[in-house]
Chain A
């Protein structure tokens, strides 16, 4: 089978190809077969491959934290965190991380959660709903809107045009508010990174997180500066982000019924509430871990049930199995294969990861978060049953952003100025470790094997590989593919519905890379990774 053939089985329908899908992270292509105005089949592929896991082999174990974070310039913090956690375990220091180390790790990661969710909603997703052209005849005094107006008047319309046309529903005033929010969000997300760098040094690619804790010192002035910036971000979340999500929920209410996906959710949880020792999936975390089935029942995560399927992926069958033992040997001509993405499965079935998965787990676990979710869903004019949907994913991000921002204030108060933030470490000859934790886009796993004091094996299973995975051996499509199937497309030249479904998952294709073994000439066949 030629690797460049479009993966389309149904010859009756028209295939809509979107390549590249913009306003995501990385390179992505989506093909959807539309028949009778409805998506019958969908295939997602990433179109870039760098080979990180191979580059890591043979290197010094500490370098893994700095190199793996560079898998993704949008989410370097969570990769550094997962990498440090797998090394904490391999180095035997999981239980020795000082409270300051745990709290600073939480604060730095949380800063990027807020940055990522604000960036995603306004800079990535909003242009699917908001008509920037509404500012063309603006007559008010807001300086940002005036700048947009004179920009449009000069007829230099990039990067806001070209665009899909015909699907914008807001009234004039709401459009203007949303454009204002868009411009302000760009500033506030920068403040999130300023906050992050107080302890993280710089961002992107913060340098503080290391096995054993963090390198940065905790002082009272840093706490005060951090809180000052955090309050500005919290005000934006309450005064602009939440109203903007609710405005979309009101004008595009049908999107509570669009793109439900596989209705099965996985989260490793996030933000350790006490020390780092013991099974990472049994630690007390601000965002609880769990697996939620299609009836909303919550189960415990068992790491042994995570596997990677390769039935429809271009790898040999030997590559299937648990990621700690995973390999990646390409089989470009394999019968029935259509993707270079592996297909992660939990207990044999696909699972959606990300903010919606975390909110579903928190909801099922009861407690204070359940009431928050119910209240937010009510404000948005829906019930909790409508959460698995395009709008539900946006709503989950704002609910989570508020929880995390509130927790950050508490963590700042728990810091002890002057106390140590890192445990002493030494590199063992042999060791293994797993770092399982949620980032902004969902469940992230790093697995390391150290041999002879060097990295012998390193595997990553990243959020978008779960969400954008291909079919498995049973022919079950991945979560984004499932979310697209059944979506009605009004205008095939301007398929708003498709891109709204895709972007609700906040895909990050640069992350979903796997390495290919050296020594085989597979030139000309990669479509993904």
Chain B
């Protein structure tokens, strides 16, 4: 049997909807069985030690898995965080018991992060706070990065935002980590800790309806052809490779279904991108050089 290096991973969920985990299940190649069972890249296998939606065990026996990981694999495992963290009161999110008392997920996340090799924030909630942290933020939800700052935990963080994130973004990041190591991954991050290989371009730059925008052909209501800018498309202010990567095995994507982009990968999602179906403030176009003197989509004379 060839010698395969194991990269342990722990997938923890806090203020989450499980959508990020379901998105990972939608991975085409490798498919999710391949991710669990086989090498991800030649000679390297990601060993998913804890993932509550799929793991066989339960209760105290899986809480022991978490304790063992933090103790015995310190510095070796990757913590994949799904969901934002409850900073407004421990008891908003509890999971399992330790020493006979219910265990706040916030504390479990902090402890696992402290002993990890790196933290991967899967999804907008873990990366930036997301919907749980939207006004009035009833639970004091924060991003994982904010937890690390507050708890003074110094570990490398990779943000893979998206509501949900594309499976390729998660798998691709793990593959880069397995093949080239943490330093190489860190070198490829932008100022929001996102891998530039997935989040380097505006949706608007590669959108197939860009020609409609430039020519001033706008859909005015649902179901019409043309650029969806007037219906609130956030593509001009959103960084992701959705137009070229497409979703669900390359089947479609939001704008392909006639829906405006909602900017779900952005730190501003949802509050500063709301109302989702209202045209963006045209001043924000100027930041990206998309505003002509005559206005968006109006060719200058």
Contact = CB atoms under 8 A, between A and B. Distances in A.
Given A72-B17, A156-B47, A523-B89, A422 B221 contact: yes
B19 A20 contact: no
Given A59-B275, A197-B247, A50 B15 contact: yes
A217 B258 contact: yes
A217 B23 CA distance: 24
A220 to B, nearest CB: 16
5 contacts: A49-B139, A73-B20, A151-B37, A158-B47, A525-B91
* Residue with the greatest number of chain B CB neighbours at <10 A, chosen from A60, A158, A193: A158
A365 B275 CA distance: 44
B36 A159 contact: yes
B15 A148 contact: no
Interface string A13-56: 00001111111111101000000000000000001111110110
Given A20-B59, A158-B47, A201-B254, 19 more contacts: A19-B96, A22-B53, A27-B94, A29-B94, A49-B139, A55-B134, A62-B277, A74-B18, A151-B38, A154-B6, A161-B57, A162-B64, A186-B31, A196-B248, A205-B164, A215-B259, A225-B251, A518-B138, A523-B90
B20 A63 contact: no
A120 to B, nearest CB: 11
Interface of A: 3-4, 17-27, 29, 47-52, 54-55, 58-60, 62-63, 66-67, 70-74, 76, 119, 123-124, 127, 132, 144, 147-148, 150-151, 153-154, 156, 158-164, 183, 186-187, 189-190, 193-194, 196-208, 210, 212-217, 225, 420-422, 424-425, 499, 510, 515-516, 518, 522-527
B23 A204 contact: yes
B288 to A, nearest CB: 23
A216 B56 CA distance: 39
Contact of B223 (A4, A119, A422): A422
B136 A518 contact: yes
Contact of A76 (B1, B19, B59, B257): B19
Given A197-B252, A424-B221, A526-B91, A183 B131 contact: no
B281 to A, nearest CB: 15
A27 B95 contact: yes
B113 to A, nearest CB: 19
Contact of B32 (A51, A70, A186, A207): A186
A483 to B, nearest CB: 18
Contacts of B101: 4
Interface of B: 1, 4, 6, 13-23, 25-28, 31-34, 36-38, 45, 47-65, 88-97, 101-102, 105, 131-132, 134-139, 141, 163-164, 221-223, 247-249, 251-259, 262, 264, 270, 274-278
Contacts of B137: 55
* Main secondary structure on A side of the interface with B: loop
Contact of A190 (B28, B102, B163): B28
Given A21-B58, A55-B138, A422-B222, A47 B93 contact: yes
Contact of A66 (B25, B36, B138, B262): B262
Contacts of A17: 59-60, 97
A60 B248 contact: no
A156 B1 contact: no
B257 A48 contact: no
Contact of A51 (B132, B249, B254, B259): B132
A25 B83 CA distance: 13
B52 to A, nearest CB: 5
Contacts of A160: 55-56
Q: What are the 10 A-B residue pairs with the smallest beta carbon separation, nearest first?
A: A73-B19, A201-B257, A51-B138, A60-B275, A163-B56, A207-B259, A215-B258, A202-B247, A159-B55, A197-B248
A134 to B, nearest CB: 14
A202 B248 contact: yes
A419 B191 CA distance: 46
Nearest to B38: A147
A48 B102 CA distance: 12
B247 to A, nearest CB: 4
Contacts of B61: 162-163
Contacts of B164: 73, 204-205
A150 B37 CA distance: 8
Contact of B249 (A194, A200, A212, A425): A194
A131 B134 CA distance: 44
Contacts of A124: 53
Contacts of B97: 17, 19
A20 B37 CA distance: 24
Contacts of B31: 186-187, 190
Given A203-B247, A527-B94, A159 B54 contact: yes
Contacts of B34: 147
Contact of A199 (B57, B221, B257): B257
Contacts of B94: 27, 29, 47-48, 526-527
A19 B37 contact: no
Contacts of A19: 59-60, 95-97, 102
A87 to B, nearest CB: 12
B181 to A, nearest CB: 21
A527 B131 CA distance: 21
B65 A162 contact: yes
Contact of B222 (A48, A215, A515): A215
